[in-house]
Amino acid sequence: MSLSQQIFRDTPSRFFAVLTWRYGRLYIDALDKIEEIQRLRHGVGLTRVELLQTCENIIEAGIEHIQVPEEADDEDEHTKITAPEMIRVMLQSEWIEEPKRSDYQRVYYLDSRAELLLECLRRMAYPEQVTFTDKLHLVCSRIMDKDAFEKHPLADLESCTDNLRYGLQELRSMQQSMARLTQRQLRSDSLKENLQVLYDDFSENIGQRAYKSLIDLDIPIRLPLAREQLAKIQANPAIIAKMELAWQKRRPELSADEVTIKVHDALQHTANMLDSVEPQAEAVDRRAADFARRSFARFRYLQEVSSGRRSEVRDLFERINEQYAECKLNALPEQLELPSLKIPAVSLLAGIDSLFSPRSLRVKGEQSPLDDIYDDDDSLYALEEMSDNINSSLTTRRANRFFRDLNVDTNGLESKDLPTDIEDWILNTVGLLLHGDTLESEYDITTPRDEITHDKLPAPDLVEETYLDPFTIHPKAR
């Protein structure tokens, strides 16, 4: 089955059509924000109010960058986009899903296929730093090893094929990175930016790492030897027989002729990939030479263009030498008869006494301590902040996990019998009490406060130097 059939078998066409629509940028930003929020919530979905607010923020921030055709009518519904419309389209195209819940709450989750596609789009927008590993070196060493392809020839062949594929991808990535740097250098208008592209981006990230590793591999010498050894492997009947036997064990439904064809195609595919390494490496060399040539040409061009200002400054000093020859700096008149400079600003003479300005002395300061005075509002604020932090860290999932660790039977577990040898048992106990009345909890908590109204409450339990109001934990009836 082809790749397109595999993709469109379970994925609707509208899933991809969203990206090609006029507002595709807004949808991508909205989905990226939804995935970020959902990831920070550890898989908890978004409510409809939160989803509407997210879509409205994305539309407000990016609608001005959307180009609408001039012939489009202002009243045309297709030229407008709203937050409910975005949610409806994402639901219909199955970018997000709204599972049915028993409590009738509307909670939205990002589809798993959308997460995979977003990850692919992020890698396209923010490409990783180009690297060149030892994949091709491993292929050449494996093929040239006389003991290889003896015990497990099919596994060795597949390993070489995978390494060849990754090595070729790294070569193409290196070539594309050089092309991007070349375009950046041609668009720059200053020597500083050109030097930054050459020494910081190219020399440090590509030249000293990836390109140097490619040169050290010595591909023109290694590849012909590896190709010759691979041809010997293709002509070795014993190795071919072992590969066919391994393939027959893996795919018993294939006939002998089909297994022979599979083995032949795998060897030929590896040979073709090995033959394409050297042309790809030569393309990288040409791209590096082109980058160096364009870099020097760009430097020379910017120097010639910016030399006008330097000539103006030179003319200024020559004029000073002609008019005030053999005159000390402190003897120069206050009103110098000099031509006006055609540059934005220049700090030539900071006064007529001296060009040296002494360093100013600063007295070392002292930090004044904060007052220890606080009022009731500060205490309430601290308690509210601590309560919010506890509620955000002690989730229902953590409370249920602690309850399962307690192994509570049907008779229940009293607070005085809580085990204290568990790490963070106090925080976990607080989580049990916080989420005891929620629908997602797997337990119930009863306290004397639920039964006693006017009588005196029992004394608190002392558990590991901590006083706890008495309570009992029971598993919920299923």
Query: Taking 60 as the threshold, does the pLDDT of residue 354 lie above it?
Result: no
Long-range interactions of 262-267: CB distance < 8 A, separation 24+: 263/154, 266/154, 266/157, 266/158, 266/161, 267/157, 267/230, 267/233, 267/234
Question: pLDDT tens for residues 268-277?
Answer: 888 888 888 8
pLDDT score recorded for residue 361: 67
Question: Could you tell me the two tokens for 253?
Answer: 């439904």
pLDDT score recorded for residue 308: 57
pLDDT score recorded for residue 314: 66
Least confident of 24-28, 147-151, 165-169: 147-151
User: Which CATH code for domain 3-69+77-125?
Assistant: 1.10.10
Question: pLDDT tens for residues 303-344?
Answer: 666 655 666 666 777 777 787 777 776 777 777 776 665 555
- Closest Cα to residue 399, out of 361, 363, 365, 437? 437
| pLDDT average, residue stretch 211-216 | 70
- Which residues face 97 on adjacent strands? 109
* Higher-pLDDT residue of 391, 5: 5
pLDDT score recorded for residue 77: 44
Domain-wise residue ranges, the chain:
3-69+77-125, 135-303, 389-475
Question: pLDDT tens for residues 50-77?
Answer: 888 888 888 888 887 776 655 555 444 4
Least confident of 287-291, 340-344, 374-378: 340-344
Query: Taking 80 as the threshold, does the pLDDT of residue 244 lie above it?
Result: yes
| pLDDT average, residue stretch 443-463 | 74
Least confident of 24-33, 192-201, 239-248: 192-201
Confidence of residue 393 (pLDDT cuts 50, 70, 90): confident
Confidence of residue 204 (pLDDT cuts 50, 70, 90): low
| CA–CA gap between residue 461 and residue 463 (Å, rounded) | 6
* Higher-pLDDT residue of 201, 411: 411
Question: Could you tell me the two tokens for 13?
Answer: 């066409």
What does pLDDT average to over the chain?
77
| CA–CA gap between residue 396 and residue 399 (Å, rounded) | 5
pLDDT score recorded for residue 453: 58
Distance of CA 475 to the CA centre of its chain: 43
